[in-house]
Amino acid sequence: MDFDLQLARSFPEIPILRLYRWKPYCISIGANQSFDEVDKEKADRNNIDLVKRPTGGRAILHSEELTYSVVFPVELNYSAKAIYNEINLALREGLVFYDSLLSKLELEHNQVDFKDFYKEDKSSICFAVSAKSEINFNNKKLVGSAQRKIGKVVLQHGSILCGRYHLNIVDYLNVDESSKDEIRKEISETTIDLKSILHDEINYDFLSECIILGFKKYFNADVDIKEQILQ
């Protein structure tokens, strides 16, 4: 994610797409979150890294997922809000390439009242609620995204859920123990992952190829593709 920030600060003239996974698993918190919201000692004991994203949003447990990053010049006649929507439409295109069943994916039309939402314990978790234009399947959140404008470009990060391990984020939050089971249940009911939708193991290499194709098709252009597995 530091490299994503470096790319954004270099102010590229063309959009750049990166796709990566995490080894070991990692909890990233949003730029405006405090590390105090996460039990770092427990994360360390379980070999889970803890980092702060340069983008906004809330805590994510990067595990059974594919992370995407897009650096997009604002000069290409898009506003930051429009870029957010367009990137999610390109992601949807790629996911449909992966499996036609994903043609049922829809973008969230409503915007949550974050002022009230942040008063709740579950607000520490990114996947606790869908923001406008995020990707849902049967009204459950599949892709979580966050964005930040840096100079003349927008940096957008997101997580495509591929399995259910992300639900374990609850175990690492510094919230009342009595509320953790309830939060886990609620997150389980409001999120979904590709494996649960497709009832099959996820081919991450093929998924990456499909996301790339989706971006190329949607934007009718090539993008600078950079892929890696973080060690």
pLDDT digits (tens, 9 = 90+) for 27-79: 999 988 999 999 999 999 999 999 999 998 888 999 999 999 999 998 767 78
* Strand, helix or coil for residue 153: strand
Range of the domain at 29: 2-221
List of the chain residues with pLDDT < 70: 76, 110-131, 222-231
Has residue 140 been placed in a domain?
yes
| C-beta separation of 58 from 85 below 8 A | no
Has residue 231 been placed in a domain?
no
Catalytic residue among 26, 126, 162, 210: 126
Residues with Cβ < 8 Å from 109, sequence gap 6 or more?
132
Identify the CATH number of the domain in which residue 182 sits. 3.30.930.10
- Count up the domains in the chain and report the number: 1
Closest CA to 144 of 121, 116, 173, 169: 169
3-state helix, strand, coil split of the chain in percent (to 5) is: 40, 30, 30
| Encoded tokens for 124 | 């520490």
Q: Is 126 one of the annotated active-site residues of the chain?
A: yes
Has residue 38 been placed in a domain?
yes
Has residue 95 been placed in a domain?
yes
Has residue 227 been placed in a domain?
no
Has residue 208 been placed in a domain?
yes
Has residue 230 been placed in a domain?
no
* pLDDT given for residue 216 in this prediction: 93
Has residue 228 been placed in a domain?
no
